[in-house]
Structure 1
Amino acid sequence: MNLRIALLLACFTTPLLADNWPGWRGPSGDGICPDKKAPLSWTLEKDLKWKTEIPGIGHASPIIWNDAIFLVSADEESGERLLLKLDRKTGKSLWQQTVLKSPIEKIHRKNSRASSTPATDGKLVYVSFLDKEDMFVAAYDFNGKKVWEVRPGIFSSRHGYCSSPIFWKDKVIVNGDHDGDAYLVGLDKKTGKTIWKTPRPNKTRSYCTAIIRTIEGRNQLVISGSKCVASYDPDTGKQHWIIDGPTEQYVASPVYDGKYIYMTCGFPTLHMMAIDPTGNGNVTDTHVVWHTRKDPSYVPSPVVT
């Protein structure tokens, strides 16, 4: 069994104890910590509080709710996909559940079989893995009991799987961009039932996690991937607007500064764009504020303040 190490530094145990980090890139999904007293530097030598061995391998981020840390991993020998709960103050493992046992899929050398960051609303923890050729999504309570599991669609990618769940009202939303009939899907948080499922264009793998913002009174789920940048209504899955390109594959999440959406990508060509999110329909020629190929990133998600 492969083992990895979970480290917790002092900067995440004392000043931020009252703050939760409930999913991919934190409470607002953009990598920004709302605490003005957040530390700007730390070292293992001075600030390490505890260190805990974790079974398996996984690239997903841990999430935090009050005194609990949740994280996922994959045991590549047994095929088990794991959900673990640790005590935030001590690092002690409180429970470990096998969420899924499935054959190990082929992946890119920089991917893992547990790359989707879980999410929690303070009541349930939501996880997402690949089960053979199906997207797998499940919900567990804080005691480690499974509440539901579903397979809302197929997923095929030679680079493996990564699709971190996000929330909107009573829904958990998952990105199904893959090399086939791609889709976005909104599931009922309590039951896993599909509320809406929207086809995505171009049928091309991407690994972006969307952001959701209310812009000029309109709720928008904005996502890069599948050879486009697009906005959808998170209540219904209906598309607001779309920009063609500017490349084929995407990994980084977009960000919003109160005026523009910013995105960076990708493969096979690198781009960075600012987008006016107030349009409708195909806005490729009308709502790109600026577009540059100087110094963009492919995988790392940006921060804007």
Structure 2
Amino acid sequence: MMRPRFVLSLVISVFGISGIAADWPTWRGPTRDGISTEREFPTQWSATENIAWKVALPGGGHSSPIVSGDRIFVTACKESTQERLLLCYSRDDGKLIWQQTVLTAPLEKKHGLNSFASSTPATDGKFVYVSFLDGKRMQVACYDLDGKRIWAQSPGEFHSKHGFCSPPLIDGDLVIFNGDQDALAYLVAYDKATGQERWRADRPNRTRSYCPPIVIEAAGRRQLVLSGSKSVASYDVATGQQIWVMDGPTEQFVASLVYHQGLLFLTAGYPTYHIMAIRPNLTGNVTKSAVVWHETKGAAYVPSPIAWGDCVYVVADGGVASCLDVKTGKRHWMERLGRHHSASPVAANGLLYFLDDDGAMHIVKAGTEFDVIGKNKLGEACYASPALSNGQIFIRGEKHLFCIGAKAANR
């Protein structure tokens, strides 16, 4: 049997994300599903206890922190100057190493639960990629680890009354962005080293969505799968050619997909709410054949699902969490956690970490019985998803970046 860290290292190699297993280099971590294979993370803290460090952020945002080696990267918007920032901190003590203004532009119209810096950056251990809205255009940029800009591109216009969020996805030598919008919509892939456009795929339904695609191995091929714009669709990651599409189940999507035990798990959306398990091993229009099971009760719009063992877990925006069987959708439990949840859960060592908007982390033991082992309060509003790395938990609050746990161990 392969050891867990070897498996994670193999996955990182396959998906093109370099770095040690303890890194958290992109939205939802190294395998893009919120899972860490590490075993030791804190389960108790407060606003003053078990905090390795806490640093004030120069601007707001809902993007998550990412971790690469001894550095933490996070984006922010300084509203007084209209600057969109990329920030680099030391993971050892929280000291600001460098700060770059990616762009300066008027603040866009947005939903009250969105921010002006919602796209989580991504790194391959050599470069950091970011995305922001610049007026009516999406702007993406690449920086090296010392803060030098390497390239910048604009994939095109972006129109959405709810604002912007399009986290970069790194795969091999590509960096990929979701351009779903209420106009001419697209998926676009750039050469991550040069910024040269490699392919572009049309997104025909012309409806805004805010989640990055994921890359999976299914049916003997590598698939780029994206929920959004009135559909769930799969593309060849190397060319952008569509493999299959499932119409619906709703109009808009925010939560990311999760791939587990050969199935894709979805929670959405607006105007109707759904939890689904989908087969990814088909071709063509799979609307009538892809769905393994379908639930509507307890679905989330913003928080992404998470899977552990034979269960998939969803926390609805209103704070009610559910545990469902992976294969059948049978609901094992449904219980209230926080008042409201925007962050997506993360998991390690059989524990699920659910962060609510009031800054309380609810730690639930994975399983078919509801078992809360802890609830820890930071005393600050939190809307961003946590990052897990090397025994520490990184949480972006409304005003501060927190490092929870002991000082970083040797890496």
- With the length of structure 2 as denominator, give the TM-score of the two structures: 0.69
Structure 1 residues 172, 18: closer, same or farther in 2, change over 3 A? Answer: closer
Q: Look up the match of 1:14.
A: none
The aligned residue for residue 203 of structure 1 is 206
The worse-fitting range, judged by mean Cα deviation, of 210-219 and 129-138 is 210-219
Report the AA paired with residue 228 of structure 1. S
Which residue is equivalent to 1:212?
215
- The structure 1 residue matched to 2:24, chosen from 21, 24, 39, is 21
Distance 1:50 1:37, change over 3 A: closer
What whole-Å deviation, never above 9, does each CA across 1:2-41 have from its counterpart, x for those lacking one?
xxxxxxxxxxxxxxx9610001000011100121233444
In the TM superposition, residue 43 of structure 1 has moved relative to its aligned partner by 3.3
Query: Secondary structure in 1 aligned to 2:303?
Result: coil
Q: Which of the numbers 223, 234, 248 marks the counterpart of 2:226?
A: 223
1:162 aligns with 2:157: no
Please, which of 82, 94, 109 is the counterpart of residue 106 of structure 1? 109
| In the alignment, structure 1 residue 289 sits paired with structure 2 residue 292 | yes
2:37 alignment partner in structure 1? 34
Partner of 2:333: none
2:74 alignment partner, one of 71, 75, 83: 71
SS in 1 for 2:289: coil
- What is the CA-CA distance between 1:207 and the residue it aligns to? 0.6
Q: Which runs of 4+ in 1 moved over 6 A?
A: none
Contact 1:18 1:66 in 2 (8 A): no
How big is the shift at 1:42? 3.6
> Cα RMSD (Å) of the superposition?
1.2
Whether the 8 Å contact between 1:85 and 1:96 is mirrored in structure 2 is yes
Identity %: 54
What's 2:9 paired with?
none
The residue aligned with 1:241 is 244
Q: Secondary structure at the match of 1:163?
A: coil
Residues 242-299 of structure 1: per-residue CA shift (max 9 Å, x gap)? 1100110000001011311110000011011110100001000011111111111111
**Whole-angstrom distance in 2 between the partners of 1:27 and 1:19:** 9
Mapping of residues 257-296 of structure 1, within 5 Å = 257-296=260-299
- Give a deviation string over 1:49-96, Cα, whole Å, max 9, x none: 111111111110011001100111011121111011101010100111
Partner Cα distance (1:266, 1:216) in 2: 27
* Corresponding residue SS for 1:242: strand
Partner of residue 49, structure 1:
52
Higher relative contact order (CA 8 A, sep 6+): 2
Unaligned runs of 5+ in 2: 1-19, 309-411
Would you say the 8 A contact 2:219–2:280 is kept in 1?
no
| Candidates 82, 86, 92, aligned match of 1:83 | 86
Q: Hey, what does 1:120 align to over in structure 2? A: 123
Q: State the 1:135 CA deviation.
A: 0.9
Letter of the 2:69 partner, please give it: N
CA offsets 1:154-177 (integer angstroms, 9 cap, x no match): 110011000000111100000001
Is the 8 Å Cα contact of residues 96 and 144 (structure 1) preserved in structure 2?
Answer: yes
Looking at structure 1, the residues matched to 307 and 184 of structure 2 have their Cα atoms a distance apart, in angstroms, of 33
Q: Which consecutive unaligned segments of at least 5 residues does structure 1 have?
A: 1-16
The answer to whether residue 162 in structure 2 is matched with residue 194 in structure 1 is no
Equivalent pairs, count: 289
Supply the AA of the counterpart residue of 1:157.
Answer: S
Q: Secondary structure at 2:270's aligned position in 1?
A: coil
Which of residues 235, 243, 247 is equivalent to 1:232? 235
8 Å CA contact 1:72, 1:117 repeated in 2: yes
Please report the TM-score for the alignment, with normalisation by the length of structure 1.
Answer: 0.92
Aligned to 2:363: none
CA–CA distance in structure 1, aligned partners of residues 289 and 60 of structure 2: 44
How far apart, in 2, do the equivalents of 1:38 and 1:53 lie? Answer: 23
Report the equivalent of 1:137: 140
* Code of the aligned partner of 1:164: P
Instruction: Verify the 8 A CA contact 1:55 1:73 in the aligned structure 2.
Output: yes
Q: Does 1:146 align with 2:118?
A: no
Aligned match of 1:11 = none
Contact 1:187 1:195 in 2 (8 A): yes
Secondary structure at 1:49 match in 2: strand
Contact 2:201 2:240 in 1 (8 A): yes
Tell me the amino acid that sits aligned with residue 181 of structure 1: L
CA contact (8 A) 2:44 2:50 kept: no
